[in-house]
Amino acid sequence: MSEDKSQLKIRFFTREKDESLQVEDNPMYVPITLKRYGLSEIVNHLLENSTPTPFDFLIDGELLRTSLQEYLVKKGLSSETSLNVEYTRAILPPSFLSSF
Amino acid sequence: RETQMESKLETAPRSLEESRQLWHSSEIATADLVSRLGEQLRLILEPTLATKLKGDYKTGKRLNMKRIIPYIASQFRKDKIWLRRTKPSKRQYQIMIAIDDSKSMSESKCVKLAFDSLCLVSKTLTQLESGGLSIVRFGEHTKEVHPFEQQFSNDSGAKAFQWFSFQDTKTDVKRLVAESIKIFERARSFNNSDQWQLEIIISDGICEDHETIQRLVRRARENKIMLVFVVIDGINSSESIMDMSQVTYVPDSFGNMKLQINKYLDSFPFEFYVVLHDISELPEMLSLILRQYFSDLASA
Ligand SMILES: [Mg+2]
C-alpha cells in the first residue's frame, strides 16, 4: 500500500503571552498523518528553538489526542477544510506525552 | 457503492434555472473584460490562424480577376466573381478550461471568481471563432462538461455551470492532468491537424503530491499540451497562497527523515502560473503568460 500523501492547510496560533512563543500566523500545508509530536516539531522549528519545548495542541478548544487525519474523520471533515490549531506549553507529564 | 458514486456523477448537482442566472450574472460581471481579453488574445493568436482568400461568391472582399471575363461573356449571369476571407478549414487550437470543483474552493470563497473566469475565457474564445473549447470540472474525479466537438453558446455555458457544486472532498490534480492528456489526445485524433493545445486550470492552487504532478505536467508538455495554472488567491481574508508554507520530510545523509519548511509555491508543479486576486486582472495575466510561452517556444 502506498503511503497517504494527503495534506491539510492549518494555521497555528497560541494564547501564550510569552513573545518568544509566538509564530507568524501564515497558513501551512502539512501531512494529515501528523500527531502531537510532529506538530510540536514544526512549532519548535518555526520558533527556532535550540532546546525544543513540548507543546499540546487544541482544535476548537479540544485537546488533540490523535493524528490530524483521525480528528478529521471523527468530525466528519475532509482535508479540504483548513484548521486553526492552537498550541500551548505541555502540561501533561512527559511519560504520558510520549504515548501520542 | 462504486455504481452509486458513478450515477451521482452523471446527475448535475445544480438546476438549469439557477445555472442560467449564475451564468447571466457572470456575463454582466465580465462584459467589459471580454473585449479586452479578446483584443489581447487576437494579437497573440492571430499569427497562428492562416486565413486565405477564396472564391467564388456573389459578394466579397476582393474581385477574383479570373472570373471577370467569363462574367462579362455570360451577360453578367456568372456573377460569382468575389473572393472572401475564409475561416481556416481546420481549427488551429484547442483550449480546455478546467475548474476546481473541490470543497476548498467554497471554503475560501473562490466560487464567484471561478465562475466569472470561466465565463470570461469561454466567451472570449467563442468570439475569436477559431478554436475548439472544452470545459472540465475536477475534484476527486475529473469530468468533461462541455466537449470540444460541441459549439459553445451561452446555453452551453449555463449547462456547464450545472456541474459545479464545490463539494468534492479531494482535489486530485494528478488525475486532472492525466485525464486532460487523454481528452486532448482524442480531440487531436478526430481533428487530425497540426494544432496546439492549451489547458487553463482555475483553482485555489491547494494540491498535494507536487512531484507526481510535475511528472505528469512534463508528459503533457511532451504531448505538446501547454498548461497554465490560474491561482485564485486571497478572497477570504488577508491570507495568501504566497505566504503559505509547505511541510515535508526529506532523508538526510544518514537516512533519517528531516523536517523541512519551504514556501508552498517553491515546489508548485506548474511552470506557467499566475496568482489572481480580482477578475479584472485576468486578461493581462493570461496574455502575459501566453506571450511568455510563445517566446519560450520560439527560442527553444
Ligand atoms: Mg481543494
Domain boundaries defined on chain B: 2-47+90-299, 52-86
Beta-strand ranges (E) seen in chain B are 52-57, 62-63, 82-86, 93-100, 131-138, 142-146, 196-203, 225-232, 245-251, 257-263, 272-276
Nearest beta carbon to residue A6 from set B208, B249, B264? B208
With a cut of 50, say whether residue A1 has pLDDT above it.
no
Of the candidate CATH numbers 3.40.630.30, 3.80.10.10, 3.90.110.10, 3.40.50.410, the domain formed by B2-47+90-299 belongs to 3.40.50.410
**Rounded to the nearest whole angstrom, what is the distance from the C-alpha of residue B208 to the centroid of ligand 1?**
10
Q: Is A2 inside a domain boundary? A: no
Q: Is A49 on the interface with B (CB under 8 A)?
A: no
Contact B94, B195 (CB under 8 A): yes
Sign of the CA dihedral running A67, A68, A71, A77: negative
Q: What is the mean pLDDT of chain B?
A: 86
Distance from C-alpha of B125 to C-alpha of A66, rounded to nearest angstrom: 50
Quote ipTM for the complex: 0.89
Nearest by Cα to B142 from B80, B184, B89: B184
pLDDT digits (tens, 9 = 90+) for B220-267: 999 889 999 999 997 666 789 999 999 999 999 999 999 999 999 999
Distance from C-alpha of B166 to C-alpha of B105, rounded to nearest angstrom: 6
Distance from C-alpha of B152 to C-alpha of B131, rounded to nearest angstrom: 10
Q: How many domains does chain A have?
A: 1
CB contact under 8 A, B246 and A28: yes
Q: Is B245 on the interface with A (CB under 8 A)?
A: yes
Range of the structural domain that residue A22 is part of: 7-97
pTM across the whole model = 0.83
Q: Provide the CATH number for the domain around residue A84.
A: 3.10.20.90
Q: What is the pLDDT of residue A25?
A: 87
Distance from C-alpha of B248 to C-alpha of B257, rounded to nearest angstrom: 9
Q: Is B142 on the interface with A (CB under 8 A)?
A: no
Query: Rounded to whole angstroms, what are the CA distances from B273 to B73, B171, B210, B253?
Result: 62, 17, 14, 34
Q: Is A1 inside a domain boundary? A: no
Structure-block grid coordinates of residue B277: 486576486
Q: Is A45 on the interface with B (CB under 8 A)?
A: yes
With a cut of 50, say whether residue A31 has pLDDT above it.
yes
pLDDT digits (tens, 9 = 90+) for B31-81: 999 999 988 888 877 655 556 677 778 888 788 888 888 888 888 888 888
pLDDT-derived band at A95, boundaries 50, 70, 90:
low
pLDDT digits (tens, 9 = 90+) for B91-107: 467 899 999 999 999 98
pLDDT digits (tens, 9 = 90+) for B197-218: 899 999 999 999 999 999 999 9
Contact B163, B114 (CB under 8 A): no
Q: What is the pLDDT of residue B1?
A: 42
Q: What is the mean pLDDT of chain A?
A: 89
Partners of B171 on chain A (C-beta within 8 Å) are: 80
Q: Is A27 inside a domain boundary? A: yes
pLDDT-derived band at B11, boundaries 50, 70, 90:
confident
